Amino acid sequence: MTKKKPTSTPPAKTIAATKSAEPTAMDRQLKSYERAVQLFSQRNFKQACALFADAAKGPAPNVADKARSYVSVCERRTSGIELTLVSAEDHFNYGVERMNARDLERALHHLGEALTKQPEGDHILYTLALCCGFAGDGDGACENLKRAITLEPRNRILARQDPEFAALAAQLPTLRALLMAEPPAAY
């Protein structure tokens, strides 16, 4: 009769070490999220979307919420929706949307297109002035606002009351001077 060797059970330390070496669900979620952010910053939206979707299923609610937000951004960026902008107002509205998203290059392009289609559009010039200011073009901001005021003198008052113009005027002395100048008196 042969004796059976007792099966050895690993010591408790080894079991604990093995378990702690295995990544937790939260570790996997964070790893997916971090890799997705890297891919997103590289503008690889399709792969990032898949990893964000994976991270959205993880146990950490704050990471899952952020991941879900990124999923919707990635989906918009990969949807391939083609905008058809025809009129000055189409370009103006899209330019405003891009400016609000701080995509200033696109905003300037579309506001310029709107101005080409409607050269006397004081609202376009007003918004273009603001966008130029955000982009760091103080001269462009002043010139466009000056034209907007020439076409519609009330634009000076609107710009004085606009908190975004106030912030720009604090940085740009020429813009501040334009806003504070008194309009010529009408006799």
Tokens 């002043």 locate to: 142
At 185 the pLDDT is: 56
At 187 the pLDDT is: 40
Helix pair 154-161, 138-151: axis angle to 10 deg: 130
Tokens 């891919």 locate to: 39
Q: Which residue type sits at 166? A: A
> How does the average pLDDT of the chain come out, rounded?
86
Please count the helices (runs of H) and the strands (runs of E) in the chain: 11, 0
Higher pLDDT, 85 or 15: 85
Q: Does domain 88-180 have CATH number 3.30.200.20?
A: no
Q: What is the DSSP letter of 135?
A: T
**Does the pLDDT of residue 159 top 90, yes or no?**
yes
Torsion, Cα of 22, 28, 34, 36 (10° steps)? 140
Higher pLDDT, 43 or 157: 157
Contact 46, 76 (CB under 8 A): no
Alpha carbons 65 and 96: distance in angstroms, whole number: 28
**Does the pLDDT of residue 158 top 90, yes or no?**
yes
Tell me: the pLDDT tens digits for 132-154? 999 999 999 999 999 999 999 99
Domain assignments of the chain as residue spans, ordered by start: 24-78, 88-180
Residues 6+ apart with CB under 8 A from 63: 29, 30, 33, 55
Tell me: the pLDDT tens digits for 101-118? 889 999 999 999 999 999
Kindly state the average pLDDT of the residues 47-67: 91
Tell me: the pLDDT tens digits for 5-55? 555 555 555 555 545 578 898 999 999 999 999 998 888 888 999 999 999
Share of the chain above pLDDT 90, in %: 59
Alpha carbon 156 to its chain centroid, in Å, reads 29
- What's this model's pTM, rounded to 2 decimal places? 0.57
